[in-house]
């Protein structure tokens, strides 16, 4: 079994896989007569293919315990997938690069309060993995015709800790 050490989620560390959605260091400006601040253009939403549309959904996830065995990653070839937490519980973000033999060994990130992610179209990633408590998320992803899910099962199990 291969070990994967969880690292903190930062824009630089996650740059090959998507966007970190957070207010810190984001372009912002006042709106609504100065009573609101807009943190602008935090993620690139992608939706392609026949009858593609962007959807907003609400998910409630049960927490996972660490260490965690990882056997599978998935990707969405027709659209990005953003997860914006509505609770202060961290969640685990797993991603892998594309190689000529399929996904690489994965990397794992732990979010801190106020961070979400947008996983770009066609990027291998783990499933939604809340930590420390039941967690709600707003999810922005693609709907429409076509197969928008591919799964890859690794030959060897990874242990994320």
CATH of span 2-160: 2.60.120.480
Q: How many CB atoms lie within 10 A of CB 107?
A: 19
Domain ranges of the chain: 2-160
Output the pLDDT for position 43. 97
Buried b (16+ CB within 10 A) or exposed e, 5-33: ebeebeeeebeebbbbbbeeeeeeeeeee
Tell me: the pLDDT tens digits for 47-87? 999 999 999 999 999 999 999 999 999 999 999 999 999 99
Output the pLDDT for position 77. 98
The vertex-83 CA angle with 160 and 24, nearest 5°, equals 95
Q: How far apart are CA 99 and CA 15, in angstroms?
A: 17
Tell me: the pLDDT tens digits for 105-161? 999 999 999 999 999 999 999 999 999 999 999 999 999 999 999 999 999 999 999
Give 40's pLDDT tier (boundaries 50, 70, 90).
very high
Output the pLDDT for position 131. 98
CB 152 within 8 A of CB 97: no
| Residue count of the chain | 161
Output the pLDDT for position 15. 98
2-18 average pLDDT score: 98
């Amino acid at each position: 079994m291969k070990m994967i050490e969880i690292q903190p989620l930062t824009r630089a560390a996650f740059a090959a896989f998507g966007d970190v959605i957070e207010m810190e260091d984001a372009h912002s400006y006042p709106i609504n007569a100065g009573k609101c601040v807009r943190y602008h253009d935090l993620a690139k939403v992608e939706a392609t293919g026949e009858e593609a549309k962007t959807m907003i959904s609400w998910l409630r996830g049960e927490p996972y315990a660490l260490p965690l065995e990882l056997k599978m990653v998935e990707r969405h070839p027709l659209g990005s997938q953003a997860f914006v937490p509505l609770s202060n519980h961290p969640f685990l973000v797993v991603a892998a690069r594309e190689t000529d033999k399929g996904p690489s060994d994965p990397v794992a990130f732990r979010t801190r309060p106020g961070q979400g992610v947008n996983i770009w179209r066609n990027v291998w990633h783990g499933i939604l993995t809340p930590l420390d408590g039941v967690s709600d998320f707003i999810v922005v992803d693609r709907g429409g015709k076509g197969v928008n899910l591919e799964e890859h099962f690794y030959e060897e199990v990874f242990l994320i800790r």
